[in-house]
């Protein structure tokens, strides 16, 4: 036991994760309200899985410890218990309840994450093409467009500027093959399919910064270079950006 505890402590130390990183269970820091729902569902799933694992491991260890073959015992099977109705009902009902609970929370959060408002603050037309992105941002009657080139670093790809504390709608389009619009900090991705107008919305939190984005669908030889960035800025800075971009067109 001491050796196992020491090994576990060593593995935790080698990951160089802070307490906050562990609380997110491997997910990056979220920057939208929807990402908070995903984080909550993710953590809850891990807790349920670990609780189930503890019960199963406990039963296995209990069986190994107390029902192992004795040294001087005869080669006879121990007393067998068949058709134990209460246990069989338990084995059936508990999994059904667990699946039902998982389904309820998953359906609830999915409906929230995919819900659409009547009038978002900002609308972004996302066009994924081989092998980069075109972002057309519409805000207060003004339009700003950014077109990128394939890049090996997300900071070298096209930069999508968005305001913090706003509702943003993404309209996804593709002129060639299937791509996937993915910003890990959103905790969400959606396919960009030719002929299909997929949409989703986010509510950005007050977390200014630059966040990586990429294509998450193998789309061709330069798929790995379909990188971009999302820059969240305060509202005043976003207003200035839109005014400068719209004036330059």
For 72-89, what is each residue's pLDDT tens digit?
A: 666 677 666 677 788 888
Task: Give pLDDT, residue 7.
Answer: 54
Cα four-point dihedral sign 111, 117, 118, 120: negative
CA distance 13 to 22: 12
Looking at per-residue confidence, does 59 or 136 come out higher? 136
Mean pLDDT taken over the chain: 88
Task: Give pLDDT, residue 137.
Answer: 96
CB of 220 closer than 8 Å to CB of 60: no
Query: What is the number of alpha carbons within 13 Å of residue 208 lying toward its C-beta?
Result: 7
Residues 6+ apart with CB under 8 A from 232: 31, 162, 163, 164, 204, 207, 208, 209, 210, 211
The CA-based angle 179-185-187, given to 5 degrees, is 70
């Amino acid at each position: 036991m001491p050796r196992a505890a020491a090994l576990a402590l060593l593995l935790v130390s080698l990951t160089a994760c802070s307490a906050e990183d562990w609380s997110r269970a491997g997910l990056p820091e979220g920057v939208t309200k929807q990402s908070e729902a995903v984080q909550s569902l993710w953590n809850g799933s891990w807790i349920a899985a670990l609780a189930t694992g503890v019960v199963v491991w406990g039963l296995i260890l209990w069986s190994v410890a107390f029902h192992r073959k004795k040294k001087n015992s005869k080669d006879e099977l121990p007393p067998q218990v068949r058709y134990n109705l209460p246990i069989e009902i338990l084995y059936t009902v508990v999994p059904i309840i667990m699946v039902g609970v998982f389904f309820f929370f998953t359906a609830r959060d999915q409906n929230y994450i995919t819900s659409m408002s009547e009038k978002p603050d900002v609308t972004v037309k996302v066009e994924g093409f081989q092998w980069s992105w075109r972002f057309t941002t519409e805000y207060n009657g003004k339009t700003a467009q950014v077109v990128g080139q394939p890049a090996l670093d997300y900071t070298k790809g096209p930069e999508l500027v968005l305001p913090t504390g706003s509702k943003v709608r993404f309209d996804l389009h593709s002129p060639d093959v299937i791509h996937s619009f993915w910003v890990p900090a959103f905790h969400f991705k959606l396919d960009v399919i030719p002929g299909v107008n997929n949409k989703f919305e986010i509510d950005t939190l007050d977390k200014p910064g630059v966040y990586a984005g990429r294509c998450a669908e193998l789309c061709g030889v330069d798929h790995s270079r379909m990188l971009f960035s999302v820059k969240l800025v305060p509202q005043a800075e976003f207003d200035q950006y839109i005014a400068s971009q719209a004036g330059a067109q």
